[in-house]
Amino acid sequence: MTKLDRDLCVKTMSVENKLAPSPLKRDTSHAGKVAKYKTDVESHVEKLLRRMTLREKLHQMSGDLFTVTSFLPDMVIHYNSFPIPSGNNPELDIPPILFVDGPRGVACGQSTCYPVSMARGASWDTDLEERIGDAIGVEMRSQGGNYAGSVCINLLRHPAWGRAQETYGEDTHHLGEFGAALVRGIQRHGMACVKHFAVNSIENARFKVDVSVDERTLREVYLPHFKRCIDEGAASVMSAYNKLNGEFCSRMLICSATFSRMNGSLMASCCQIFFSPCEARPKPSRVGWMLRCPTAGITASFCGLRSKRVAHLSKM
């Protein structure tokens, strides 16, 4: 390389650095307004709950399974081609939660496909990841969504895992920092869902596999990155399909002390409520499991007369 080439390269890099967007900074000037808004929202929610019938409460918790199944033909052609609605109640002016996937960018429409999480994690640039989260949030809203299932922080145990590209890597600190950065970016525009809790890194038999992990390994390796995202303010956590030490992760999610203090909601993976309770009776029974769902804020599918019986048993 000649001296002229070197000088030209240095000047080009200097210009690019000046043009590059600066790292996003958190604005704390509206903290008081946010606190007041939160109080107003909680008061409004209490009033709505007093007005809601039992059927409306069950519908609000159900995840709108029958609405989703009616969309299946379109979903087969293009998965998540539009936001999946849940919990809409026009009579009470309750808008729906509108779910969009995923880690590579918004799955709906002609949205941007970003480099996979594994590639972004290799950059070690959390400021860049936050900007990507911000862009995903913008596109989520432009497609009509408000709830993004984009924050995948499964700890990778083997590169041949079927969903390896959806996560950032194999280190819990690395996962936590990148997951938190993506949460910050997305939640400027809507809600972020962190997934899949927990020990979810096996593709074959992922609906049934029982992963055995001792308490220390669980707390030091598999859980810290989830805690990091929750501490960052993640609005939601999704459970994994697999079992953990004999219990389905959806149950572990409800019973975990970490999530009981979370200011957000818990979500079961798609259709998990149908098969996970049936294989572990009577510890707890299917009804006992479903009773825990509403108080934990986890989505479940309550259907027909059985749902009324469950609701009365739980004294909703």
Taking the domains of the chain in order of start, what are their residue ranges? 96-316
Give the range among 60-69, 89-98, 165-174, 248-257 with minimum mean pLDDT.
Answer: 60-69
DSSP code for 155:
P
Tell me the Cα Rg of the chain: 21
User: In this model, does residue 94 exceed pLDDT 80?
Assistant: yes
3-class SS of residue 304: helix
For residue 63, what pLDDT is reported? Answer: 62
Output the six-digit token pair for 194. Answer: 């962190």
Choose among 198, 97, 181: nearest CA to 135: 181
Confidence at 302, pLDDT banded by 50, 70, 90 = very low
In whole angstroms, how far apart are CA 91 and each of 44, 51, 85, 87, 125? 15, 11, 16, 12, 46
User: CA-to-CA distance for 290 and 300, rounded, in angstroms?
Assistant: 7
When pLDDT is averaged across residues 245-269 and rounded to a whole number, the result is 75
User: CA-to-CA distance for 189 and 251, rounded, in angstroms?
Assistant: 30
For residue 251, what pLDDT is reported? Answer: 73
Question: How high is the mean pLDDT of the chain?
Answer: 77
User: In this model, does residue 175 exceed pLDDT 50?
Assistant: yes
Confidence at 40, pLDDT banded by 50, 70, 90 = confident
User: CA-to-CA distance for 149 and 107, rounded, in angstroms?
Assistant: 10
Phi-psi label, residue 199: left if phi above 0, alpha if psi -120 to 50, beta otherwise: left
Tens of pLDDT along 5-36? 444 443 433 433 344 444 444 444 444 554 55
274 phi and psi, to 5 degrees?
-80, -40
The percent of residues above 90 in pLDDT, for the chain, comes to 40
When pLDDT is averaged across residues 158-184 and rounded to a whole number, the result is 95
- Range 109-144 burial, b when 16+ CB lie within 10 A, else e: eebeebebbbebbeeeebebbbbbbbbbbbbbbebe
The better pLDDT of the pair 171, 96 is held by 171
User: In this model, does residue 149 exceed pLDDT 50?
Assistant: yes
Q: pTM score, two decimals?
A: 0.77
Under CATH, what is the fold of the domain 96-316?
Answer: TIM Barrel (3.20.20)
Give the range among 73-82, 111-120, 210-219 with minimum mean pLDDT.
Answer: 73-82
Alpha carbon of residue 32 to chain centroid: 27
